[in-house]
Amino acid sequence: MDYNFYTGELLLIDKPLTWSSFQAVNKIKHAIKQHPSLIVDGQKIKPKVGHAGTLDPLATGLLIVCTGKKTKTINELMGMEKEYTGTFLLGATTPCFDLEKPVDHVFPTEHITIEMIHAAAKVFTGVQQQVPPLFSAVFIDGKRAYEYARAGETAEIKAREIEIKEFEITGINMPTVSFRIVCSKGTYIRSIARDFGIELQSGGHLTSLRRTRIGNFHVNDAVTPQEFSEKLNEINS
């Protein structure tokens, strides 16, 4: 494939577990920096690279990475609907609503039935107000929410409108619930895990998450940062 990273490429990257989105972008930036397309009029151009929607380190899946002039499409890409699969663990909560922090409270789960779980999924389907996690990049008075959280401070995060277009329960092996969710921009699946537990009169947190689709772009067509780097080396050799 003949890439042109200056005029712009839209790369589908499968972000590995524990990698930050920033690390994935840096890996791509390092891989392309010597590419011939970045020499324009005899001058070497610094690669312009960005991604269309952050994935947490403990999430895997589709990260759209844009280069060159294609970075102008990032806002448009970020506005597209997204699909995720993953698992909730019922009966326990964590401060960040996922596995990044240890469990802080435990709750009973004996009363939860399969029917209640499916009914709860229906409750969260549609347009609604969602409060993002304090451990998030949401701005509060000019600071990121996670800055307050890491300092042990509390801060009020305003709810915002989101839409859960599809919420499918794909497996139940108590206390673990597997799901598939199609949602709008700005949706925090971690917050759904928290709210799902509350709806079931228990607790809940996210134990795995994979972004499978953004708009019409699917993770099945993506490669890992390492695979992309190796592929580019083969082309250039």
Q: Which residues are catalytic?
A: 56
Measured CA to CA in angstroms, residue 171 lies from 109, 142, 175, 235 at distances of: 16, 41, 11, 42
Are 64 and 51 spatial neighbours (Cβ–Cβ below 8 Å)? yes
How many whole angstroms separate alpha carbon 10 and alpha carbon 117?
A: 39
User: Within a 10 A sphere around the Cβ of 23, how many other Cβ atoms?
Assistant: 14
Q: How far is CA 213 from CA 188, 190, 191, in A?
A: 15, 18, 20
Phi, psi (degrees; rounded to nearest 5) at 210 = -135, 125
As beta bridge partners, residue 181 has 84, 167
C-alpha–C-alpha distance, residues 111 and 201, integer Å: 9
Alpha helices in the chain (DSSP H): 21-32, 74-78, 114-123, 145-150, 189-199, 225-236
14 three-state secondary structure: strand
Q: Are strands 59-67 and 204-214 parallel, antiparallel or unpaired?
A: parallel
Structure tokens at 81: 């609907």
